[in-house]
Amino acid sequence: MKKLILIAMMASGLVACAQSTAPQEDSRLKEAYSACINTAQGSPEKIEACQSVLNVLKKEKQHQQFADQESVRVLDYQQCLRATQTGNDQAVKADCDKV
């Protein structure tokens, strides 16, 4: 959890420093989000931390489309986790096929 918060803080710091948009810094934000999702390991709390990285990305015009698409994926992932926890096989198939 501490790693995810650190990643989110680093992403926020990058955005604050990235007033002049540089492609290298832009890719770091997306990499921070990817690392966050990859380390979430199905934990809803960790996925919520990843959402804060997406919120930072949404503030940048060039990242809004990416962040909006990923926001939908985060919601689909959360629904898949809930369906798995409840044991509803039909919901698992419907929700997890989206991910």
pLDDT tens profile 36-56: 878 877 677 777 788 888 888
* Predicted local distance difference test score (pLDDT) of residue 52: 82
Contacts of 80 (CB under 8 A, 6+ apart): 92, 95, 96, 98, 99
For 74-84, the pLDDT digits (tens) are: 777 777 777 77
* Predicted local distance difference test score (pLDDT) of residue 17: 56
Residue 40: count other Cβ atoms within 10 Å of its Cβ. Answer: 19
Q: Assess contact for 74 and 54: CB atoms under 8 A.
A: yes
For 4-48, the pLDDT digits (tens) are: 565 666 666 655 555 555 566 667 888 888 888 788 776 777 777
Please report which confidence band the pLDDT of residue 57 belongs to, taking 50, 70 and 90 as the band edges: confident
* Predicted local distance difference test score (pLDDT) of residue 25: 64
> What is d(CA 50, CA 43) in angstroms, rounded to the nearest whole number?
11
Candidates 34, 33, 28, 23; CA nearest to 62 is: 23
Q: Which residue ranges make up each domain of the chain?
A: 2-96
* Predicted local distance difference test score (pLDDT) of residue 13: 60
Query: pTM of the full predicted structure?
Result: 0.51
